[in-house]
Chain A
Amino acid sequence: MINQNQAKTQKINQSKSSIKSKNRKISTILNFAYFLLSIIVFIVFWYLLVFILQLFYKGVRVVPFPHETFKSFFYLLIYKIDGYTLWNHVGGSLLRVLIGLFYAFIVAVPIGILIALNRHLDRIIKPIIELLRPIPPIAWIPFAIITFGLSTVSHAFIIFIGAFFPLVQNTYDGVRQSTKVYQDVARSLGASKPQIAIEIILPSTFPNIITGLRIAIGVGWMCVIAAEMMGISGAGIGYFINYMKNIGHYSNMMAGMIMIALVGLLINGIFLLIEKYLLKWKLGE
């Protein structure tokens, strides 16, 4: 009798897991179908837009068709124009973002922690931050050019400015919100102030720092493209798009824009992975 029941339970469990795996397969196929549909809708909309604009401009075509853009995109990945492929341009821009971001990170995170922990520093530094924060990073470009010239330092400075404020603010908020009860428990277990800072405040602030980094990299990416478009350098994806617009090669210009979108997706993917592995404890809490 017991064996019969066990066999029945086993059978039910097997059928349950086979239903689960079937459901997972169906959900994957559905997701892929929706993704394909969304791309098709986008491309159809693009074609329609080109046709409508053509009517509007009486037969003069301003915006290239999707197939022309993708052709240019793949061409530019392999062949050089003025000594650079699309990879070189995007790689150069990304490197600038990373340099600026690195400096912003090592300055903003400690400042965020310090002003959140020290009331006096908070009262001195926070007003300066609040005063400078509303100035858009792009407004700093002329300042960067006259101060540092048309150089990598100018780029790094603009990206630094763009990334600094979201990083400092998120770190500050993270430390401030770091639950007091965790700090109390750590004290009751014998932790000293530096131990509480390292073992409690830092890990509990980590999700905010990651959010700050995510915003900072987005702002940094915008800043580098704007700076390149304003002519700080003779290479980079922003420079490339602007140059192609100036010489009237619109499919190349659009290819550059597609590259920016793909890099954005890549950055987002990297952050999703960081969250999945490093913030496992936070997800779905």
Chain B
Amino acid sequence: MFKIQIKSKSFQTPDNTMNHVLQNLEFNIKEHDFISIIGPSGCGKTTILRILAGFDNDFDGSLLYSPNSDNNYEKFDSLGKIGYIPQEFSLFPWLTIEKNIRFGLNIKNIPKKEQDETVDRLLDLVGMKEYRKHLPKEISGGMKQKIAICRALAINPMSNLIVMDEPFSALDAQTRNALQQDLLDIWRKQKLTIVFVTHNIDEATFLSKRVLVLTKLPAKIIKEFNIEIPHPRSRTNLEFNKIRKDLLSYLN
């Protein structure tokens, strides 16, 4: 189990004034959780993910981890230990699909045989075995994001935790809906723990077990929703629409 405690996080602007972004923000991430973070544009959602992924250590607070989920937390450095999927298409364009997935495994000096098994298993998971020798420019946007998930999973992240920063925002509505379903399948099969940033209320309601709603700057959590509708969820379901309306009212 993870715990994120951010007392405050500020940025220095080019004219040397301090921009206070996050304030008194704390939440837990349980095993096999699916948390979405929503909030107004520029409220610091991505900053939370960057802190969680270990890119940004310049904040007042700490990242905590409880190996046995028994509330005995210890500080930990998450960089290189949890999966990260950014907003833009991020596959390295000069590497084939297969080599993209191998990247982290090579960095960690994983033996070739083990790498082969991992690549096969992950390509099989997303049904893209025949694309292994393709270059990223030769596959669609949706496929790129699936491979980005495979690449993040290849390094065997701590507690299967993956953080995703609006990963489907560059896709058309149809592809986005299909990928949301695919993501849920992978989440269930691989017992993943996901922290998902989105500005799309419908997406957050469709995917998440919990939704954290942030305020404007300096952002803090104003409401935490537990969504108990079982997966697969129907967008026409009454309860689904009620949650969506509630989320919208908090955002407004």
The answer on A and B forming one complex is: yes
User: Which A residues contact B (CB, under 8 angstroms)?
Assistant: 179, 181-182, 184-191, 195, 199-200, 203-204, 206, 280-282, 284-285
Residues of B within 8 A of A184 (CB): 53, 55, 84, 86, 90
Residues of B within 8 A of A186 (CB): 103, 107
A206 to B, closest residue via Cβ = B94
User: Which B residues contact A (CB, under 8 angstroms)?
Assistant: 53-55, 79-84, 86, 88, 90, 92-95, 103-104, 107-108, 135-137, 148, 151-152, 155
- Further contacts, 15 of them, CB under 8 A, given A187-B55, A189-B107, A200-B92: A181-B88, A182-B90, A184-B84, A185-B84, A185-B148, A188-B83, A188-B84, A190-B104, A190-B108, A199-B103, A199-B107, A204-B94, A280-B135, A281-B95, A285-B137
Which of B82, B90, B135, B137 makes the CB contact (< 8 A) with A185? B90
CB distance from A282 to the nearest CB of B (A): 7
CB distance from A67 to the nearest CB of B (A): 49
Which of A181, A182, A191, A281 makes the CB contact (< 8 A) with B137? A281
Which of A181, A187, A188, A200 makes the CB contact (< 8 A) with B152? A188
Once the chains are docked, how many angstroms separate the CA of A185 from the CA of B55? 10
Residues of B within 8 A of A195 (CB): 107
Once the chains are docked, how many angstroms separate the CA of A280 from the CA of B90? 18
Known interface pairs A190-B155, A284-B137. Does A185 touch B93 (Cβ–Cβ under 8 Å)? no
Once the chains are docked, how many angstroms separate the CA of A182 from the CA of B93? 10
Q: List 20 A-B contacts (CB under 8 A).
A: A182-B90, A182-B92, A184-B84, A184-B90, A185-B86, A187-B80, A188-B152, A189-B155, A190-B81, A190-B104, A190-B107, A200-B92, A203-B92, A204-B92, A204-B94, A281-B136, A281-B137, A282-B93, A282-B94, A285-B93
Residues of A within 8 A of B84 (CB): 184-185, 188
Residues of B within 8 A of A282 (CB): 93-94
Residues of A within 8 A of B95 (CB): 281
CB distance from A183 to the nearest CB of B (A): 10
Once the chains are docked, how many angstroms separate the CA of A101 from the CA of B3? 56
Known interface pairs A181-B86, A184-B55. Does A189 touch B80 (Cβ–Cβ under 8 Å)? yes
B92 to A, closest residue via Cβ = A182
Q: Are A281 and B93 in contact (CB under 8 A)?
A: yes
CB distance from A175 to the nearest CB of B (A): 15
CB distance from A46 to the nearest CB of B (A): 44
CB distance from B149 to the nearest CB of A (A): 12
A185 to B, closest residue via Cβ = B90
CB distance from A42 to the nearest CB of B (A): 38
Q: Are B103 and A188 in contact (CB under 8 A)?
A: no
Once the chains are docked, how many angstroms separate the CA of A195 from the CA of B103? 11
Once the chains are docked, how many angstroms separate the CA of A182 from the CA of B155? 16
Residues of A within 8 A of B152 (CB): 188-189
Q: Are B108 and A188 in contact (CB under 8 A)?
A: no
Q: Are B80 and A190 in contact (CB under 8 A)?
A: yes
Residues of B within 8 A of A188 (CB): 53-55, 79-80, 82-84, 152
Once the chains are docked, how many angstroms separate the CA of A187 from the CA of B90? 13
Residues of A within 8 A of B107 (CB): 186, 189-191, 195, 199
CB distance from A70 to the nearest CB of B (A): 44
Once the chains are docked, how many angstroms separate the CA of A186 from the CA of B83? 11
Known interface pairs A181-B86, A185-B84, A191-B107. Does A281 touch B55 (Cβ–Cβ under 8 Å)? no
Once the chains are docked, how many angstroms separate the CA of A102 from the CA of B206? 59
B105 to A, closest residue via Cβ = A189
Interface hub of A189, A191, A195 (most chain B Cβ within 10 A): A189
Once the chains are docked, how many angstroms separate the CA of A184 from the CA of B54? 10
Residues of A within 8 A of B86 (CB): 181, 184-185
Residues of A within 8 A of B90 (CB): 181-182, 184-185
CB distance from B6 to the nearest CB of A (A): 19
Residues of A within 8 A of B79 (CB): 187-188
Residues of A within 8 A of B55 (CB): 184, 187-188
B50 to A, closest residue via Cβ = A184
Residues of B within 8 A of A285 (CB): 93, 137
Interface hub of A185, A187, A284, A285 (most chain B Cβ within 10 A): A185
Once the chains are docked, how many angstroms separate the CA of A189 from the CA of B135? 20
Q: Are B103 and A281 in contact (CB under 8 A)?
A: no
Once the chains are docked, how many angstroms separate the CA of A181 from the CA of B165? 12
Once the chains are docked, how many angstroms separate the CA of A280 from the CA of B136? 11
Once the chains are docked, how many angstroms separate the CA of A240 from the CA of B202? 75
Known interface pairs A185-B90, A190-B107, A195-B107. Does A281 touch B82 (Cβ–Cβ under 8 Å)? no
